[in-house]
Structure 1
Amino acid sequence: MTAQTRSPQPLTVPAADLVLAQTRPVPTDFVLGAATAAYQIEGARHEDGRTDSIWDTFSHAPGAVVDGDTGDVACEHYHRYAADVALMKSLGLQSYRFSTSWDRVCPDGGAVNAKGLDFYERLVDSLLEAGIAPWLTLYHWDLPQALEDRGGWTSRETVDRFVDYSLAVHDRLGDRVRTWTTLNEPFCAAFLGYTAGMHAPGRTSPADGLAAAHHLMLAHGRVVQELRARDASLELGLTLNFTVADPLDPSDPRDVDAARRVDAQMNRIFLDPVFRGAYPADLLDDVRHLGLEDHIMDGDLEVISTPIDVLGVNYYNGEAIGHEPPAAARADSLNGGRFTRSPFPAADDSHRHPRGLPVTAMDWEIQPEGLTRLLVRLHEEYAGPAGVTLHVTENGAAFDDAPDEDGFVDDRGRTAYVRSHLGAILDAVDAGVPVRGYFYWSLLDNFEWAWGYAKRFGIVRVDYDTQVRTPKASALDYARIIATRRLPTPWADLDATGDGDEPAGESTT
């Protein structure tokens, strides 16, 4: 099958004298790419030996996903990968971050499925032929359901099965893929899935979330050790999602403690074991009643702190945290009548407060300067002393995109979002932080987890009825940035009124 791609205008590079004066240079060695995840785009649920993951089960549960959407078909990338790679090449992407599906490679967490590996071999070869560097993530939340039935990430057996699966992928692709990340966002996998009940597998246990978090990190360390022993030249690491938790009132010790808890239970719970070989003392105090230390066996932290080469930084927004809930809390439209709870195992008195910043369709505040502060902190406190490079491996925005009659989306808000966050990264670079690259999330509109197809993050619009791909204005702008190595200011040449404010007709809500 061949994917149809509709391009509303040629991907041309403006002449040098037309490059906007309001620009700043992008370093020539700074990698610009895009990212996706297997379950969100591949489809082909039961083809060529693939069996169900926890997301197959969860998405088919009544009320779990908005509109009852599933990833059964998604973007049909399994059949349309060649055209999707051609699309990436037309945009000039330098690297493509994707995940392999555990359920394709080792169905039910068991024996290796050659047909599953055949697909990823075809994908990687197509990327290399197109001059696009593959960046492989081994786990983006699609745990085989058969393993969940035996305890999932609360069981140490899952660690062993993850090592088996990872080595099977390396057996086939190790000679062509140089950058390997073990996990994507273990916070979401552990705490949205096992504590909040918002993501698969839908458990609502603080204790289970902590057990899952520890075993995820143990699995990470084990795979880094195994891959390092096989090939010392590989670039190895993991990707974490971060928030910048600011106390709502810095003079109120209750708000300061609320923000500390969020920082400990989202950021430092993963950073400190990797970089310092220990869990933060204040975190252990916060969760002592929940049994985390019962799962920490002798030698675990030494494994988890195995040196890495690269830390992937996923950033979408920061938060103002107060000890009391905001006066007007947004209703949760995701639980479909099911019980859900805070993802933080021991932060019941920590609440997000709006600050009057513009927001995306996810109700996430747009805060580029938070990314600068985050990168500076990560470099100074963690990555820099360890000699670990930083890449922003996810950053993006969902807006309520409205296509014209040709399917084209003039998404000025997303275009400005990308520019402003790239600018925030360059601000960090100017401050001495050696950030090496940026991957926009996501290349394609796709299955957005519990939001189904209701939220669109892509720079390429996908018509889910026809599977036609149409690059949005943001994609064309990103292509020009890549080609010219020049970053325009956020609203330069986007605002029809010329006043620098948000363009007419573009909503950030």
Structure 2
Amino acid sequence: MSRSYTFPEGFLWGCATAAYQIEGSPLADGAGPSIWERFAHTPGMMHNGDTGDIACDHYRRMRDDVKLMAEMGLTAYRFSIGWARVLPEGTGRVNAAGLDFYQRLVDTLLEHGITPMATLYHWDLPEALDDRGGWLNRDSAEWFADYARVCFQALDDRVPLWATLNEPWVVTDGGYLNGVLAPGHRNLYETPRASHHLMRAHGRAVQVYREVGQHQIGLVVNIEPKYPASDSEADRAATRRAHHYMNRQYLDPALRGRYPDGLREVFGEAWRDWPAEDMALIAQPIDFVGLNYYTRAVVRDDPHQYPTRASAVRQPGATYSDTGWEVYPPAFTDTLVWLKERYGNPAIYITENGSAFYDPPTVEGPVLFDPLRQDYLIKHLKACHDAIEAGVDLRGYFGWSLLDNLEWSLGFAKRFGMVHVDYATQKRTRKGTSHLYQAIIESNGAALASARPVYGTGHPPHDAGNAAAVDVS
């Protein structure tokens, strides 16, 4: 007798995207530039010189993309709002045309029965605010609160789920420590300062939402569970440092009101004690945690790895994605159970989960088969179900990503989409993963019991009303 994988009633099945990665037309209709316009147009910062000037052209093709979501059976969609599209100078004047784009997006989603989840900040700080210090400026929390208020007042009557920040760890590690993401700084002393101001901004946005909002708001973090490479004390200590730096740096202050003590060891003299009133601001009660999960890390002590003195060890025989990330679904369940046990079983949405594997730049035929990505989806959704059975309050899953898109400084070299995009023509082609996901959605997870990756070419591996048709190999 096969195991049942039916998910709870009302579970949200969605996909996720981010504004700069898909919209294109970054300066259209009065929008201002963001730090990603400047970064992408700086020679040497982006793979192959790629930029988001066109990306997936979603700004002009939005209605067709929402129809595609409906065709896939999505019940929810997570998108981000471009701050500089709404407030070209970052504060003050509202660009009505830019805000109208998101009004139309939300209305179109609702017309197709798709629940919107809006993310306020997915890494695209207005350039005008970066010129004033960006996240290094203590005033950034108030800038963000003013921007959030504009968005809440315009959209909260139709958007039931809000996220303040997406992956603050990536913002600071990539943008302020290692310089591989906008704004491209490399400064250990700036990194905890930018992190702290991001979290203060999160707290202020939650405060504003409690004044004017009527639904739910949360924080999105990326978690990469850490496992020691050996039983040595050096490897265990390195694992703790990496875990505090990546996984507890943002959740502990948001949900427990203090930073983990291990950050002092990570940052050394760059760390400082923050005022009690700051910590109280950061710890505003939230309605859910958004979890972005892709992989795990097996960690060894490495004195040369900055700043954690820890590095990941490649696992022999394991499958790795095009981004060099190990495919290890049990860590997904471990992470969800850890969140439950450490933070009092908060409501959780999987706000990103997916994999990049090679796809050709152009596609002939109605479907592109992508068995490795399908296998990843099947195994990770089963890991989600295992967590639910362990008592985790998991309420929805948003696959990354709806479309192939601009993968930040990696440009268009890596493809995560459930839908293929031919960047030369903007043609969309559904991949096998999207048909598999459609069957899973229509069965509320039950199709996972018989789902298998589909290889080869031919008709799409989906037959409405027949979950078993997922396997046509």
What is the TM-score when the length of structure 1 is the normalising length? Answer: 0.86
Amino acid across the alignment from 1:36: T
Which of 296, 299, 303 is the matching residue for 2:281?
A: 303
Task: Indicate how the Cα distance of structure 1 residues 401 and 493 shifts in structure 2: closer, same or farther if over 3 A, else same.
Answer: closer
Contact 1:32 1:437 (8 Å CA) reproduced: yes
1:115 and 2:97 matched: yes
For residues 450 and 240 of structure 2, the distance between their equivalents in structure 1, rounded to whole angstroms, comes to 32
Q: Residue 249 of structure 2 is aligned with which of 269, 287, 293?
A: 269
1:366 to 327, 340, 345: 327
- List per-residue Cα deviations over 1:385-412 (Å, max 9, x = no partner): xxx3011110000010135423731001
Kept in 2: contact 1:191–1:210 (CA 8 A): no
- Residue 23 of structure 2 is matched in structure 1 by 42
Letter in 2 for 1:317: T
The equivalent of 1:420 in structure 2 is 379
SS of equivalent to 1:107: coil
Q: How many residues get paired?
A: 453
1:317–1:364 contact (8 Å) kept in structure 2 = yes
Using a 3 Å threshold, how does the CA distance of structure 1 residues 351 and 470 change in structure 2: closer, same or farther? same
CA distance 1:441–1:142, shift in 2 (3 Å) = same
After alignment, is 402-411 or 82-91 more displaced? 402-411
Which has the higher relative contact order, 1 or 2, with Cα contacts under 8 A spaced 6 or more apart? Answer: 1
The offset of 1:21, in angstroms, is 6.0
Q: Deviations over 1:184-238 (max 9, x none)?
A: 000011111100111111101111111110000000001101111223x421111
1:485-504 to structure 2, matched below 5 A, reads 485=444, 486-488=446-448, 492=452, 494=454
Q: What stretches of structure 1 of length at least 5 have no aligned partner?
A: 1-19, 326-340, 497-505
Counterpart in 1 of 2:336?
375
Aligned AA for 1:274? Answer: A
- Aligned counterpart, 2:71: 90
For residues 20 and 287 of structure 2, the distance between their equivalents in structure 1, rounded to whole angstroms, comes to 27
Following superposition, the deviation at residue 150 of structure 1 comes to 1.4
Q: Distance in 2 between matches of 1:262 and 1:491?
A: 35
Q: What is the one-letter code of the residue matched to 2:397?
A: Y
Deviates more, 1:417-426 or 1:282-291: 282-291
Instruction: Please state whether the residue corresponding to 2:395 is helix, strand or coil.
Output: strand
Alignment of structure 1 residues 115-264 onto 2, 5 Å: 115-231=97-213, 233-249=214-230, 251-264=231-244
Instruction: Report if aligned partners of 2:363, 2:429 keep a CA contact under 8 Å in 1.
Output: no
Distance verdict in 2 for CA 1:103–1:490, change over 3 Å = farther
> How many angstroms apart in 2 are the aligned matches of 1:490 and 1:70?
41
CA deviation map 1:86-143 (0-9, x unaligned): 1101111010000000010011213211111110000000001110000000000000
Q: Which amino acid aligns with 1:396?
A: G
> Corresponding residue for 1:442?
401
Once the 2 structures are TM-superposed, how far is the Cα of residue 28 of structure 1 from its aligned partner? Answer: 2.9
Inter-CA distance 490–299: structure 2 relative to 1 (3 Å threshold): farther
Shift of 1:488: 2.4
What is the deviation of 1:275?
1.2
| Mapped pair 1:64 → 2:59 | no
1:365-399: CA deviations, max 9, x gaps?
A: 00110000000000111142xxx301111000001
Deviations 1:46-102 (A, max 9, x none): 111111111111111111111000001101111110111111011110100000000
SS in 2 for 1:168: helix
Give the one of 349, 369, 372 matched to 1:391. 349
Distance 1:191 1:199 in 2: 9
Is 1:105 matched with 2:114? no
- 2:383 is matched by which residue type in structure 1? A
* 1:16 matched residue in structure 2: none
Query: How large is the Cα RMSD of the aligned pairs?
Result: 1.9
Seen in structure 2, the aligned counterparts of structure 1 residues 400 and 178 have a Cα distance that, compared at 3 Å, is: same
Instruction: Find the residue that maps to 1:26 and give its secondary structure.
Output: coil
Amino acid at match of 1:316: Y
**Structure 1 residue matching 2:298: 3-state secondary structure:** strand
Secondary structure, counterpart of 1:24 in structure 2 = coil
Secondary structure of the residue aligned to 2:89 is helix
TM-score normalised by structure 2 residue count: 0.92
The 1:300–1:315 alpha-carbon spacing in structure 2 relative to 1, beyond 3 Å, is: same
1:456-490 CA-to-partner distances (Å, cap 9, x unmatched) read 00000011111111111100110011012214258
Alignment match, 1:409: 368
8 Å CA contact retained: 1:416, 1:490: no
SS at match of 1:462: strand
Cα distance in 1 for partners of 2:264, 2:347 equals 28
The CA distance in 2 between the partners of 1:208 and 1:487, in whole Å, is 48
SS of structure 2 residue aligned to 1:313 = strand
Report the CA distance between 1:298 and its aligned residue: 4.1
In 2, distance between residues paired with 1:442 and 1:266?
Answer: 22
Q: State how 1:308-387 maps to structure 2 within 5 Å.
A: 308-324=286-302, 346-347=307-308, 349-356=309-316, 357-384=318-345
CA deviation string 1:155-183 (max 9, x = no partner): 11221111111111111112111111100
Partners of 1:204 and 1:383 in 2: how far apart? 36
Runs of 4+ in 1 over 2 A off after TM superposition: 20-29, 284-288, 402-408, 487-496
Q: Is 2:393 the counterpart of 1:454? A: no
| Contact 2:74–2:441 (8 Å) recurs in 1 | yes
Distance 2:176 2:248 in 1: 19
Q: Distance in 2 between matches of 1:266 and 1:164?
A: 28
Counterpart of 1:329? none
Identical pairs, percent: 44
